[in-house]
Chains A and B, each alone.
Chain A
């Protein structure tokens, strides 16, 4: 969409932090929101209506596991009625065929199934649950339903060697889109970083495979990928720019510019229970904080790429440089790049050792 638009295009709805899986790279914060504090159905319905009014086109239902909400079908229906395109970003459980039919009838546009691996053993090592067989069943059910399907593989050093099997899964499904998303290092993934970051060689092999898949599947499956940005020369344009395209609502109703913004000290997030979405988007302190360019320091401030990558990720700057307004340390122009290189150099070789001692994602009360 137009880069000059001043309204959000996507509403990310973290409906709950509850989840049956315990993935070691979960993007939820380490402090999970409790069930008792979750927004109720009618508050979400009001958020959808306000979002559409504000110019939002797409609602991404995520979590935790959005299917853990007993009102998920009603939420899909309400978001669709408000005029939004509705995506469900899910692990595929708890789900049966009747529930899937109800979701599609309610107007679900797009079903994005996350997969932890191409095989049960690695999927179990990552999620501490046996869920892979269920995911294969869900893929089968999806074949006879008219809904957009994306497969999302989350990649890291323990499963990057399964690219061929992952592609085969995608080709045998009804997916029109497949995402190969290398883990980004925040939250639980940051805690498990040394066990997840791939080696340079793994990454090179991945790049060759994903590019050839992109070419070979053109017109059949749209292949998209995200690299682990520690290996990048320039940072990612995180969230398409702070407070520029996306508004995220946490389970308790806090409105955030991104999943991880809560790690930045001193940030105060307004809540949709108290303020309108428009007010939060236009004038809240959190959304203003790193919007535009006035907050930038050198080298971003005078950099030709500043309108392309917006200085990278604020949360990563905080996590790696201790300063949320610094240039993203993965940038080769950052004074802190040496810290990232030192992390990469200290990685152990990706030997096929026994399951490493991961910190598994907990569950909220």
Chain B
């Protein structure tokens, strides 16, 4: 499932950020994902306001020492994973 760079991901109903013992987590029905570093930066931007392209640009700035193409492909891969888990909706 390809991720469209122009669309705006947001967390699906039933999915939200949570925290326990200083560990940020993505809470969803019957499961939870630990969020660290880049995964937290990505999920925090899945707010229905940032396009995928903006998230990519933000993280390329944040992780400026990393290869930009690699940052982009990592982000797309992670968003695809979240979409497969049904944790995201995409708004136009």
User: A177 to B27, Cβ gap below 8 A?
Assistant: no
Decide if A176 touches B18 in the complex (CB within 8 Å): no
For the complex, would chain A's binding face be called helix, strand, loop or mixed by DSSP majority? loop
**Does chain A have a CB within 8 A of B16?**
yes
Q: Which of A217-225, A295-303, A309-317, A319-327 contacts B (4 or more CB under 8 A)?
A: A217-225
- For window 15-71 of A, CB contacts with B under 8 Å fall at 52, 55-58
Which residues of A lie under 8 Å from residue B18 when comparing CB positions? 57, 83, 85
A365 CA / B31 CA spacing, docked (Å)? 35
Asked if B13 is at the interface (CB within 8 A of a chain A CB), the reply is: yes
Given the interface pairs A52-B20, A55-B20, A148-B29, the reply to whether A219 lies near B13 with Cβ below 8 Å is no
Smallest CB-CB separation from B21: which chain A residue?
A55
Q: Residue B54 at the A interface, CB < 8 A?
A: no
Q: Is the CB of A1 within 8 A of B1?
A: no
User: Given A109-B27, A219-B83, A83–B20 Cβ distance below 8 Å?
Assistant: yes
Residues of A within 8 A of B21 (CB): 55
Contact B14 A149 (CB under 8 A): yes
Taking a contact as CB atoms closer than 8 A, the residue among A85, A87, A176, A218 that contacts B13 in the complex is A176
Instruction: Tell me if B25 and A109 are in contact (CB < 8 A).
Output: no
Q: Is A110 an interface residue (CB 8 A)?
A: yes
Give the residues in chain A near B27, CB-CB below 8 Å: 57-58, 85, 109
Taken residue by residue from 160 to 202, chain A's Cβ proximity to chain B (1 for < 8 Å, 0 otherwise) reads as 0000000000000010110000000000000000000000000
Total number of A residues with any Cβ neighbor in B under 8 Å: 28
Q: Render B53-79 as a binary contact track against A, CB cut-off 8 A, 1 for contact.
A: 000000000000000000000000000
Q: Which residues of A contact B15 (CB under 8 A)?
A: 148
Q: Are B29 and A110 in contact (CB under 8 A)?
A: yes
CA distance A56 to B25 in the complex (A): 12
Q: Is the CB of B34 within 8 A of A174?
A: no
A52 to B20, CA, bound (A): 8
Shortest distance between the CB of B19 and any CB in chain A (Å): 7
**Nearest CB in chain B to that of A220: its residue:** B86
Once A149-B13, A219-B83, A221-B86 are accepted as A-B contacts, the answer to whether A1 and B32 lie under 8 Å apart by CB is: yes
Cβ-based interface call for A247 (8 A): no
Given A83-B19, A109-B16, A176-B14, check contact A57 B25 (CB 8 Å).
yes
What is the chain A residue whose CB lies nearest that of B88? A219
**Residues from 1 to 41 in B contacting A, C-beta threshold 8 Å:** 1, 12-16, 18-21, 25, 27-30, 32, 34
- Chain B neighbourhood of A9, CB < 8 A: 32
**A to B CB contacts below 8 Å, 9 in the list:** A58-B30, A58-B32, A85-B32, A109-B27, A148-B14, A148-B15, A177-B86, A218-B1, A219-B83
The 8 closest A-B pairs by CB, nearest first: A148-B14, A85-B27, A222-B86, A176-B86, A110-B29, A110-B14, A148-B29, A146-B13
